[in-house]
Amino acid sequence: MSPAKPIPGISDQYRVVSDVIQRRRTWKVLTDPDNPLELPPDLCAKWDPVVRDAVAVSGWAPFHYARNHAGMTEPWRFHIVYSKPCRKLSRHIPEWFDDVKPNNKLPAMLAACGALVLVNWLPQFDEQQATEKQVQVNEEHLAATSAAVQNLLLLLTAAGLGTYWSSGGFFRDPLMAGKLRMDPAGKLIAAVFIDYMPNNPDPAIERIAGKHRMARNADLNWVREVVDLDEFATSS
C-alpha cells in the first residue's frame, strides 16, 4: 500500500493531486518584528487574489449538517488578514497582552507572512451539556472545517506558496477575536500563515520545517485492510 508505488491506469488528475498532497509541508517563517519583511506591492497584487480564491474554493469541503448561523449554511468562518494588518498585529500583540514571553514566535511570524487566514468552526450546542447526538453534530462541524483547512493548504501548495497551520496562540483569546471582529460564536481551529516568498534567500528570514514530517510511518502500520468478513465471524 505504499503511496510511492505506481498504479497502472491511474488518471493524470489523481497523480497531480497525490503529488500536491505529498509535497505539502509545514514551514514556520519568522523575521525580526522590529524589522518586518516589506513585500513588494506587485507581489501582494499577484498573491492576494490567489489566497482569496483558494479560500473560496476551500469552501467546497463536505459538511454533514447545515449550521444555519447568521443566515449561512456552512459550519466555518474564514478571516483573511493581509500583510499590512499582519505587521500592525505584530506590533500590537505585546501591547494588548501582558504575558507575551520573549520566545513567543507569533509576532515574528506576523512580521514575515504574506497573509494569514484564521479559520473558526461554529459549535451548535453547548459542549458541556450536549446530548450524545448533539456532540456528534459538533464533531461533524469540526471535522468539516478541518477538511476545509486541508483544502486551503493543498491549494496554496499547488500555487507554490508556503504554509504553516498554527493552533493560533493569542488568536484564540476573546480579546483578539474582538479586535478582528470575529464571530464570538466561533472557535479557532487554524491560523494559516502563508509565505509569499518561499524561495527568498534573505538571511534575516528564518524558516523552520515541521518536525513530524520525517517521523511518519513508512510501512503504513496505521492502515488495516479488511478483505474478508470471516475474521469477524470467527473472532470472539
Angstrom distance (rounded) from CA 11 to CA 46: 31
CB 107 within 8 A of CB 86: no
Query: 61, 147 in Cβ contact below 8 A?
Result: yes
Task: With a cut of 50, say whether residue 59 has pLDDT above it.
Answer: yes
* CA gap 6, 23 in Å, rounded: 17
73 vs 60: CA distance, rounded Å: 12
Share of the chain above pLDDT 70, in %: 95
Q: Does the domain at residues 25-210 carry the CATH identifier 3.40.109.10?
A: yes
Closest CA to 21 of 145, 194, 157, 163: 157
* Stretch 29-53: mean pLDDT: 96
Give the model's confidence band at 2: pLDDT under 50 very low, under 70 low, under 90 confident, else very high: very low
CA nearest to 119, candidates 94, 87, 91, 144: 144
**pLDDT for residue 50 is more than 80:** yes
Any residues with CB less than 8 A from the CB of 196 and at least 6 apart, and which? 39, 43, 44, 47, 83, 113, 114, 115, 161
Intra-chain end-to-end CA distance of the chain, in Å = 28
| Amino acid letter for position 53 | D
Over 90: is that where the pLDDT of 55 sits?
Answer: yes
Q: What is the pLDDT of residue 219?
A: 83
Residues in the chain: 236
